C-alpha cells in the first residue's frame, strides 16, 4: 500500500474516533475522509477480483450494510480469516448504494463501529457538496409565497415537458433550510432539461430575497427528498388533472341558475 493510502486510512480512523451521537459535523468530516481513503472489504465468498467474490452482509435495524475494516491493523484485530479486498471509498460507495446497501466501519471495535447508510454513500459517490447533509427533516412548506407559486405554475403550464410539480421544506442536519421543488417530467433529454431550467430562472424572480430554492427530479429513485415528495406531497400543479377538468356549464342548462351565497 502506498504512503498516501496509509495516510488516508489513518485519517478515516482518526475521524471515526470523533463521531458521537449528535456530532453531525464530525460525521461529515468522516464522510470526507472516507471518500478520499480506502477500506478493507470483508469477503464472505470468493477471492478479491474473482467473479464470484461476494461482500459480507449485516442487518442493523432492518437496513443492510456491508462490513469492512479501516486498516490492516484493524483487519488483524477483527479476527477475520476469510478473503478481503482493499477498495477506495468512492469506488465502494458507487458499488453499494444502487442496491440500497450501506457500509459498516469496524463492527468488531468496542462500541460496534459506525455505519454509513446508503443515502450517504450516494452523496459520496456523486459529490458530498451537491446534496444536503442528512438526516433530513422534511415537511410541507409553511412559508407563504403565493406570487412565486402562481408564476411557477403559469410558467410550468407553458413548458410542455412538465407533468407536475410538488414542494417540500427541507432542513438538513448542517446548513440552511430550503424550499425544494419536485419536477415530474415527461422527458429528461437535454432539450427538456434546458426548458425546465429556463422555466425556473423565469420564476425565481418572485422568490423573496434570502430564501434558497432547489429542484429535484421526481424520477430519481435514490434521492431522499424525491422519495419523500412521491410518498407524502400532492402536486400543486398537475397538467393532466388540469386538462381533465370539465368546462364550466352555462347557467340555466338543465337546471335553473343558482344565486351566489356568502358563507
- Tens digit of each residue's pLDDT (9 = 90 or more) over 142-201: 999 999 999 999 999 999 999 999 999 999 999 999 999 999 999 999 999 999 999 999
Query: Does residue 251 belong to any structural domain of this protein?
Result: no
Query: Does residue 8 belong to any structural domain of this protein?
Result: yes
Query: Does residue 259 belong to any structural domain of this protein?
Result: no
**What distance in Å separates the CA atoms of residue 33 and residue 27, rounded to the nearest whole number?**
10
Asked whether residue 55 falls in the same domain as residue 170, the answer is no
**Mean of the pLDDT values across residues 227-250?**
81
Query: Does residue 248 belong to any structural domain of this protein?
Result: no
CATH number at residue 179: 3.30.460
**Mean of the pLDDT values across residues 212-221?**
96
**Mean of the pLDDT values across residues 98-107?**
97
Question: Are 155 and 203 a contacting pair, CB within 8 Å?
Answer: yes
- The tally of domains found in the chain comes to 2
Which of 130, 147, 170 delimits the end of a domain? 130
Asked whether residue 174 falls in the same domain as residue 197, the answer is yes
Q: What is the pLDDT of residue 51?
A: 87
Query: Does residue 100 belong to any structural domain of this protein?
Result: yes
Query: Does residue 213 belong to any structural domain of this protein?
Result: yes
Q: What is the pLDDT of residue 49?
A: 85
Is the overall model pTM greater than 0.75, yes or no? yes
Asked whether residue 23 falls in the same domain as residue 82, the answer is yes
Q: What is the pLDDT of residue 134?
A: 87
Look at residue 260 and tell me whether its pLDDT is greater than 70: no
Q: When comparing pLDDT for 7 and 78, which is higher? A: 78
In this structure, is the dihedral angle defined by the CA atoms of residues 174, 176, 182 and 183, taken in order, positive or negative? negative
Query: Does residue 78 belong to any structural domain of this protein?
Result: yes
- Tens digit of each residue's pLDDT (9 = 90 or more) over 88-99: 999 999 999 999
Range of the domain at 70: 3-130
Which of 97, 130, 163 delimits the end of a domain? 130
Asked whether residue 115 falls in the same domain as residue 165, the answer is no
**What distance in Å separates the CA atoms of residue 221 and residue 71, rounded to the nearest whole number?**
33
Buried b (16+ CB within 10 A) or exposed e, 41-77: bbbeeeeeeeeeeebbeeeeeeebbbbbbbbeebbee
Asked whether residue 64 falls in the same domain as residue 148, the answer is no
Among 45-59, 60-74, 189-203, the range scoring the smallest mean pLDDT is: 45-59
Query: Does residue 84 belong to any structural domain of this protein?
Result: yes
Amino acid at each position: 500500500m502506498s504512503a498516501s493510502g496509509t495516510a488516508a486510512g489513518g485519517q478515516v480512523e482518526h475521524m471515526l474516533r470523533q463521531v458521537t451521537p449528535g456530532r453531525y459535523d464530525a460525521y461529515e468530516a468522516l464522510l470526507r475522509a472516507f471518500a478520499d481513503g480506502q477500506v478493507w472489504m470483508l469477503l464472505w465468498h470468493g477471492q478479491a477480483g474473482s467473479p464470484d467474490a461476494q461482500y459480507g452482509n449485516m442487518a442493523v435495524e432492518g437496513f443492510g450494510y456491508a462490513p469492512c475494516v479501516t486498516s490492516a491493523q484493524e483487519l488483524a484485530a477483527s479476527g477475520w480469516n476469510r478473503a478481503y479486498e482493499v477498495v477506495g471509498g468512492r469506488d465502494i460507495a458507487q458499488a453499494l448504494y444502487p442496491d440500497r446497501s450501506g457500509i459498516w466501519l469496524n463492527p468488531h471495535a468496542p462500541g460496534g463501529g459506525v455505519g454509513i447508510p446508503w443515502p450517504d454513500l450516494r452523496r459520496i459517490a456523486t459529490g458530498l457538496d451537491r446534496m444536503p447533509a442528512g438526516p433530513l427533516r422534511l415537511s410541507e412548506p409553511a412559508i407563504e409565497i403565493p406570487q412565486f407559486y402562481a408564476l411557477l405554475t403559469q410558467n410550468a403550464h407553458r413548458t410542455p415537458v412538465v407533468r407536475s410539480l410538488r414542494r417540500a421544506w427541507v432542513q438538513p442536519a448542517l446548513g440552511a433550510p430550503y424550499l425544494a421543488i419536485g419536477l415530474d417530467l415527461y422527458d429528461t433529454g437535454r432539450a427538456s432539461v434546458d426548458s425546465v431550467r429556463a422555466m425556473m430562472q423565469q420564476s425565481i424572480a418572485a422568490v423573496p430575497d434570502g430564501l434558497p430554492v432547489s429542484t429535484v427530479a421526481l424520477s430519481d429513485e435514490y434521492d431522499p427528498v424525491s422519495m419523500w415528495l412521491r410518498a407524502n406531497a400532492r402536486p400543486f400543479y398537475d397538467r393532466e388533472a388540469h386538462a381533465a377538468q370539465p368546462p364550466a356549464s352555462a347557467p340555466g342548462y338543465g337546471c335553473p341558475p343558482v344565486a351566489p351565497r356568502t358563507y
